[in-house]
Structure 1
Amino acid sequence: MSRKRTIAVQALVALSLSAPAMAMDNLASVFAGCTGRISAEMEHAWLMNSDRADDLEGLRLQFVTLLDAITPPEQARQVLHFRIEAKLAHAAMLTTATFGTDPRLVHMAQNQAALRVRDCRNLLLDS
Structure 2
Amino acid sequence: MGGLKTYLRATALFCALAAPVAARADADLPDDPLRFFAACAGRMSALMEHQWIVDGPASEATKARRADILDLLTALTPPGQEARVMGWRIEAKAAHAALLARTWQDDAASTARAARQALALHNQCMAFLS
Which TM-score band applies after superposition, normalised by the shorter structure? Answer: 0.7 to 0.9
Aligned to 2:109: 104
Q: CA deviation at 1:74?
A: 2.1
Q: Within 5 A, what are the aligned runs for 1:81-92?
A: 81-92=87-98
Deviations 1:13-36 (A, max 9, x none): xxxxxxxxxxxx811100000000
Query: Number of residues paired by the alignment?
Result: 100
Give percent identity, aligned residues only: 38
Q: Within 5 A, what are the aligned runs for 1:23-38?
A: 26-38=32-44
Q: CA deviation at 1:88?
A: 0.6
**Cα distance in 1, alignment partners of residues 65 and 119 from structure 2:** 15
Q: Please, which runs of 5 or more residues in structure 1 have no aligned partner? A: 1-24
Q: Which has the larger radius of gyration?
A: 2
**Cα distance in 1, alignment partners of residues 88 and 53 from structure 2:** 23
2:124 aligned residue (116, 119, 122): 119
Aligned to 2:70: 64
**AA partner of residue 81 (structure 1):** G
**Cα distance in 2, alignment partners of residues 100 and 65 from structure 1:** 35
Q: CA deviation at 1:117?
A: 0.8
Aligned to 1:41: 47
Aligned to 1:13: none
**Cα distance in 2, alignment partners of residues 117 and 110 from structure 1:** 10
Please provide the CA RMSD for this pair: 1.3
Normalising by structure 1, we get a TM-score of 0.74
Normalising by structure 2, we get a TM-score of 0.73
Runs of 4+ in structure 1 off by over 6 angstroms are: none
Q: CA deviation at 1:50?
A: 3.1
